[in-house]
Structure 1
Amino acid sequence: MSTYHPPYTITEEILNRVAALSEAIGRLSVFTDQARVLRLRRINRVRTIHGSLAIEGNTLSEAQITAILEGKRVIAPPREVQEVKNALAVYDRFSEWHPAAEKDLLEAHRILMSSLIDEIGCYRRGGVGVMAGQEVIHMAPPAERVPLLMADLFGWLAATDAHPLIASSVFHYEFEFIHPFADGNGRMGRLWQSLILARWKAEFADIPVESLIFEHQAEYYQALRESTQQADSAPFIIFMLRMIQEALETSTPQVAPQVTPQVGELLAMIQGEMSREDLQNALGLSDRKSFRDRYLKPALDGGFIEMTIADKPNSRLQKYRLTDKGLHFS
């Protein structure tokens, strides 16, 4: 039994956020429309991978990641394409891994960093620092201490009675503090927090927390820095609980607004980004004016779909895609 206990303080804010999050995940659990679940899961998986890789400097868009997921060729830097392929492969194995199994962590790292670095699936052999842009915000412990530190951390995770929302955040912070790998530590830390949460509530496997972290990247590094300075991971726990709460709010379907049958048909047909011609053909419509007046315009006006080239509505390259509102309805 592990005697190690990471230093963290349970504040009033942490308790309040845990309570609010428990209610929110309960609301998400009752969402049982399987067709919509699968569609939302696929889109959120792309958002998760995009967010986590973008934090590390990957420039591929969600559309490009979707294309790679569909087996299409993408013109982009080979390393960035490889990063996406590796991340997709990792999430394909997501359900197989146990959070407290060190061998699973090493196997996930081997897949995630395959063909990107030499030291894959093993702990680092040299010194490393945590970077925020060009700034070193933390020098990690010496390499020779990493195996013992990770063993202690896994021992604590297996034995702790802390709520999974707290335990996952503590593990994430401690993992980044140790920085056990030569590269890929940020991606692995975020992945493993999601894995811990998913073993508590399966819905977390498909909630794109990473996309929220990407949008608040400076705060992410600041929370890591403050926790290190205070020798207490409470600032990082609070930050992560806020990100999880925001991700849950955007992932929980709202009560569907009333739409016409025509708009409902249109929303059901949209896959990714589609041109007007593609949509008309999918719906089996030949009358352009009827399609525009009864299907396209009401969907745009209702905020269910959006143009990919919003500043040039009449562009010949114009396509349409679902908004978050449209996604939750479709």
Structure 2
Amino acid sequence: MKYQPPYTITSKIIHLIAQISENIGRLTVLEEIQENLKLRKANRIRTIQGSLAIEGNTLSTEQITAILNGKTVIAPPKEVQEVRNAIKAYEAFQQWQPSQEADLLQAHQVLMTGLIDEVGQYRHGGVGVMSGDRVVHMAPPANQINRLMADLLGWLNDSDVHPLIQSSVFHYEFEFIHPFADGNGRMGRLWQTLILSKWNPIFANIPVESLIYQNQKAYYEALQASTDRTDSAVFIEFILQMILDAMLSSNETAQNGDHATAQDSVQVSDQVQRLISVMKQDEYSLAELMQLLGLTHSATFQKNDMNPAIEVGLIERTIPEKPKSQKQKYRLKK
């Protein structure tokens, strides 16, 4: 018998598919009108930043942009290598076929070169998914991976289920199997994007990973809930909601053009709005901004105020290629 992943199609899944399909038409028309290559590039950078940030990479969208433009960035070499690999993978991924094992292995080699020894091959040992110091999922034994992946790729090739469901089921099943020694999370997200982009090319430019990063805890909870229930419906619902939210954000940004305000497309916290409101002159040091706001803890200020403001494009660094420079200042993005 052919393998059939266990999942239920809920009324919420049907509703989300209808909403996503409706927004595909809107985005397609907007992209055809604008042919906005700058916006596509920005979304690709957000995709890479989001997917890698889930795995602990700390590089900002500005630093990733600098790497993409061939500039030197002062950052941990491993994180720079992760970004370079991801840029190559997302530039090349349209040439890969989702159901082809050779393409899957090649993609892993591109994503993980210089980061681990076992690149482009399935793992040879056991692996568990950790949450802090606790194992939340023990992946199947290594000697089962070839069979499990053959079943999953075979199902992907033969299945006639809607691509939005198909790609989400694959994403969940892939994470459950955890076929590689490392890089499973970023590979699963890349492959879902690939499956969707084969259905409609517009998905290559929608930064779903950025939304997943913003809802990282819920992402892992949906994976765990689906495993506990032996039914990936919870994960499908979560991922479809992330896709819809990313599309709505892209829709508003595309309508408003390059200078769309982040308040229109991203929920901006009260802290960020307060930060923006005090910035009257051209440039400020971190200390000057903290003084204006009456704050004393630098790390908390950067985490809750400055970094979110930079992430959504409201504020920019004056020296983006050296984010930790002592001469660093900040200004409102024009």
Same fold (TM over 0.5): yes
The answer to whether the 8 A contact 1:194-1:205 is kept is yes
1:228 corresponds to: 227
Structure 1 gap ranges (5+): 260-274, 278-303, 310-314, 323-330
- 1:205 & 1:74 partners in 2: Cα distance? 26
Output one character per residue of 1:13-40: Cα deviation in whole Å (capped at 9) or x when no partner: 0111111111011111112357652111
1:152 corresponds to: 151
> In structure 2, do the counterparts of structure 1 residues 118 and 105 end up closer, same or farther at CA, with 3 Å as the change threshold?
same
- 2:112 & 2:313 partners in 1: Cα distance? 36
Does residue 185 (structure 1) correspond to residue 197 (structure 2)? The answer is no
- 1:60 & 1:316 partners in 2: Cα distance? 16
- 1:94 & 1:86 partners in 2: Cα distance? 12
Please give the secondary structure, in 1, of the residue aligned with 2:31: coil
Q: Which of 308, 317, 324 is residue 329 of structure 2 equivalent to? A: 317
Q: CA RMSD in A?
A: 2.4
- 2:112 & 2:13 partners in 1: Cα distance? 34
What TM-score do the two structures reach when normalised by structure 2? 0.78
Cα deviation for residue 76 of structure 1 reads: 0.4
The code of the aligned residue for 1:16 comes to: H
Output one character per residue of 1:177-197: Cα deviation in whole Å (capped at 9) or x when no partner: 000000000000000000000
Q: Which runs of 4+ in 1 moved over 6 A?
A: none
- 1:249 & 1:134 partners in 2: Cα distance? 37
1:140 corresponds to: 139
Q: Which of 297, 309, 316 is residue 308 of structure 1 equivalent to? A: 316
Cα deviation for residue 256 of structure 1 reads: 4.1
2:46 corresponds to: 47
- How many residues get paired? 275
Please give the secondary structure, in 2, of the residue aligned with 1:117: coil
1:102 corresponds to: 101
Does residue 27 (structure 1) correspond to residue 26 (structure 2)? The answer is yes
> In structure 2, do the counterparts of structure 1 residues 68 and 157 end up closer, same or farther at CA, with 3 Å as the change threshold?
same
- 1:70 & 1:276 partners in 2: Cα distance? 26
2:295 corresponds to: none
Aligned runs of 1:82-231 on 2, under 5 Å? 82-231=81-230
Aligned residues: percent identity? 58
1:284 corresponds to: none
Output one character per residue of 1:187-212: Cα deviation in whole Å (capped at 9) or x when no partner: 00000000000001101001110011
Structure 2 gap ranges (5+): 260-280, 284-311, 318-326
Please give the secondary structure, in 1, of the residue aligned with 2:333: strand
What TM-score do the two structures reach when normalised by structure 1? 0.79
The code of the aligned residue for 2:177 comes to: I
Please give the secondary structure, in 1, of the residue aligned with 2:120: coil
